[in-house]
């Protein structure tokens, strides 16, 4: 699999249109985001979601989600340890503020995310074992 940064540097990604339906159909991996575009210093990523992700936090950046299909839930943990789950359905958006611990999960769906290039899908300070169905990555090139 090609690292997205290398693909951009080598000219493998261009500024042409990307059909998200076709792009999502090109891979089956869950929680393994593909970069469909880059805007300024941000990646536009898509991913399939199924099952639970891991609790993680992005200390220096918000995380934007748009549900393209299905349902996508985001559990958030407040500073006092209390948890709330935000349930998102097709067409819904949600922003997890920087510094907020969160854990995505889904009974099945697909999402679009805006994140600064180089942002890890498992956050800045995740410690522990990462499940096989979760890809700890800064995004993969869409091939």
Rg (CA), the chain: 15
Give percent of the chain with pLDDT exceeding 70: 90
Which CATH fold would you assign to the domain 4-141?
A: Jelly Rolls (2.60.120)
Question: Which letter does DSSP use for residue 129 in this model?
Answer: P
Q: Which residue has the higher pLDDT, 122 or 17?
A: 17
Distance of CA 38 to the CA centre of its chain: 14
pLDDT at 103 over 60: yes
Cα(50)–Cα(11) distance, rounded to whole angstroms?
Answer: 32
Residue-level pLDDT at 14: 64
Q: Are 82 and 46 in contact (CB under 8 A)?
A: no
Q: What is the mean pLDDT of the chain?
A: 88
């Amino acid at each position: 699999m090609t690292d997205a940064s290398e693909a951009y540097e080598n000219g493998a990604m261009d500024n042409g249109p990307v059909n998200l339906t076709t792009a999502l159909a090109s891979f089956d991996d869950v929680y393994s985001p593909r970069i469909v575009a880059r805007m300024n210093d941000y990646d536009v990523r898509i991913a399939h979601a199924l099952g639970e992700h891991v609790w993680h936090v992005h200390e220096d950046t918000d995380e934007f989600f748009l549900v393209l299909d299905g349902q996508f839930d985001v559990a958030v943990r407040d500073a006092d340890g209390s948890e709330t789950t935000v349930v998102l359905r097709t067409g819904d958006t949600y922003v997890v503020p920087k510094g907020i611990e969160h854990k995505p999960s889904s009974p099945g769906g697909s999402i679009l995310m805006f994140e600064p290039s180089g942002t890890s899908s498992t956050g800045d300070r995740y410690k522990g074992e990462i499940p096989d169905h979760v890809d700890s990555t800064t995004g993969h090139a869409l091939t």
